[in-house]
Structure 1
C-alpha cells in the first residue's frame, strides 16, 4: 500500500521541520513542505497530496487566501485541508468551518500527537 502524502504549508521553518518529522516518524507518511502560500499551491498542483496542513498566518498570501485558491482549481479542490493556527477563539473556528476546511489543529501542537490528530480529522486508520 502506498504511503499517504501530506503537504505542509507554513512560513516557519521550525514548524515545518517538527511537523514533517512527526508525520513521517509516527504516521509513516510521505511529507512535502512549502514555505509560502504560492509555493504551496505549486506543490499541491504538482504532487496532488492526500491532505494539506496549512498555516493561517503567513506573509504575502495567508492561509485563507491559499485555501480559497486551492478551492478554485479543479485539480486541488478535493484535497482535504487542515488549518494550523493559534487562532482558537470560537468566532475564528466558525469562520474556518464556514470556509469548508476539513479541520483545525491549534498551535502549538503536541509533536507526538500530530499524526493521530491528522488521522482522526481525516478519518484515516493510523
Structure 2
C-alpha cells in the first residue's frame, strides 16, 4: 500500500466543466467514478497536472477545481473496527467520501473483498493493527 497522502481535497468535476480539466488518458475512468463526493489524496504537480489519489486509482487533473480538505482520520487500506448488527467487526476502508451537509468524511468499508452498503462516520470506527485478530 502506498504511503498515506499528506494533502487532501475534493475535485467536483462535471463534464460540463470541460474535458480539458482532466488528463485525456484519465478522462473516461474519472468520468465513470460517478458523483463528485470522493476525498482524494493530492500528489505532486507535474507538467501542469495535479495527481489525485483515490486509493484504488489515481488521476491527473488541472488544479482549477481543487477544494482542500482537512486530513481524514482514516484512509483507504486502513484496518478498522466497527459494529455491525450489534457485533464488533473488522474491515478495511475501501473509499473515503465527503458528506456535504455535515462537512465531514464518510467511510466505505469492505469485508472479505466486498464493500458494505452502509457508510460510516469517524465516530463509528476505531483503528486496529492489521496484524491483530
Give TM-score, length-normalised by structure 2: 0.27
Give TM-score, length-normalised by structure 1: 0.28
Structure with greater proportional helix content: 1
* Greater Rg over alpha carbons, structure: 2
